[in-house]
Amino acid sequence: MERSVLARLGLVLLLLGSLVCTSSRANAQAGSESRNSFKHLVDIGGGHHLNIVCTGTGSPTVVFLQGLGSDITDWRKVREPVAALTRTCFYDRAGFGYSDPPDKPSTADNVTDDLHALLRAAGITGRVVLVGHSLGGLFATLYVDKFKSTVAGLVLVDPSFAGQYNYTVSRKDRDAMPPDVNKWILSMQTCKELAQNDKLSTSDPRDCMPSSRDINGQGLTPQEAEYLTQQFYRPFYYTSVLSEFYNFYPKIGPGTSADGIDGDQERLHKRSFGNLPLEVLTAGTAIHNPKLSEATNEAIRDVWISGHDKLANRSTRGESIMVSNSHHFIQLDQPDRVVEAIRKIVLEARQ
């Protein structure tokens, strides 16, 4: 997706070595069936609202979790095919899309607790199939750890995971990372200040938001474009992105990289998934960071692939599949393959 601020985010994670719906329950159920609305707020408790949009009918319900700093439009190429199969729901974490600002840090534990409260408040009963991309994959994994009895199946799309920073980093490679990270953090803080002072627009995006040209080039519907654009005017959007980043950011020690808060939380709750239908998709095209040595790039890729295999092995019905001709956003590069995986897990869950 051509978004300046998120493109920089992807670069930062790469430099780190990471591939990296106001309403009563009845109203929530009725409103979520609108196929053309991208805004449906649900009170998850204490007057805190999250946005959730559902389409299609049938069970189990499929719930999507996007990656760090991402939004619902990342799933635009798989939305309709999956909705033709079963009920399909997309939601915004606190601070993103149309959701309220976060009232607590965006840690994996807090995100999964919010999602659990949201599904109950929105009247989504029965077990669900979770589809998580990137950091959303780590969130989905932790959700199963904590609320396994409510999950019917799991699809992980090039997911992040606890232990993904377990590779050796030379001093030279380690020293190459912080300057780019610090530069990105400063740019996000600048964007927040510009938003606070109403100095952002699609005609003058200041490298903080997509321009009109970028939006028009993505083939978005008018409602999708409005949904995508409006969040960049809100200062707390940048606060939320930074909070997700800080809690995912690894703690770098002498010679090695360890997990951030999110990875530590998932590791703490880790459990066997039994015979839960599970599919893990890995991008076939490796990301190469020219600022890092060949040895480090290879080590990162090895840990990434083996981590996905280990995720699949947490279920006796788990599969780990390499998706050719795809980069990190497999749902955009190879949407049919993601739809195929979801269909497989939904049909297995129905059995």
pLDDT at 27: 38
Rg, Å, the chain Cα set? 19
| Integer Cα distance of 66 and 156 in angstroms | 11
Q: Delimit the domains of the chain by residue range.
A: 21-170+248-350, 171-246
Confidence of residue 264 (pLDDT cuts 50, 70, 90): very high
| Integer Cα distance of 177 and 147 in angstroms | 36
Residue 4: is its pLDDT beyond 60?
Answer: no
Encode pLDDT of 113-146 as tens digits: 999 999 999 999 899 999 999 999 999 999 999 9
Measured CA distances, 255 to 161, 168, 172, 208, 211 (Å): 20, 6, 10, 34, 41
- Mean pLDDT, rounded, of the chain: 87
Phi, psi dihedrals of residue 252, rounded to the nearest 5°: -95, 120
Residue 45: is its pLDDT beyond 80?
Answer: yes
Q: What is the mean pLDDT of residues 5-16?
A: 47
DSSP state of 168: B
pLDDT at 13: 52
The two three-digit tokens of residue 251, written as one number: 């703690």
pLDDT at 203: 83
* Tokens 């009725």, residue located: 30
pLDDT at 160: 96
Asked which of 9-13, 120-124, 134-138, 215-219 is least confident by mean pLDDT, the reply is 9-13
Asked which of 85-94, 197-206, 232-241, 273-282 is least confident by mean pLDDT, the reply is 197-206
Residue 239: is its pLDDT beyond 60?
Answer: yes
Q: Give 246-278 as a DSSP string.
A: HHHS-EE-SSBEE--HHHHHHHHH----TT--E
pLDDT at 250: 81
pLDDT at 292: 87
Identify each DSSP E strand in 110-150 by its residue range. 128-133
Find out whether 112 and 139 touch, Cβ atoms under 8 Å.
yes
Kindly report each contact of residues 188-191 with a partner whose C-beta sits within 8 Å and lies 24 or more positions away, as own/partner: 188/5, 188/238, 188/241, 188/242, 189/238, 189/242, 191/5, 191/232, 191/238
Confidence of residue 28 (pLDDT cuts 50, 70, 90): very low
Find out whether 160 and 311 touch, Cβ atoms under 8 Å.
no
The two three-digit tokens of residue 12, written as one number: 């930062």
21-170+248-350 has which CATH code?
3.40.50.1820
Q: Which residues of 246-269 are buried (b: 16+ CB within 10 A; e: fewer)?
A: ebbbbebeeeebebbbbbbbbeeb
Q: Higher pLDDT residue, 334 or 291?
A: 334
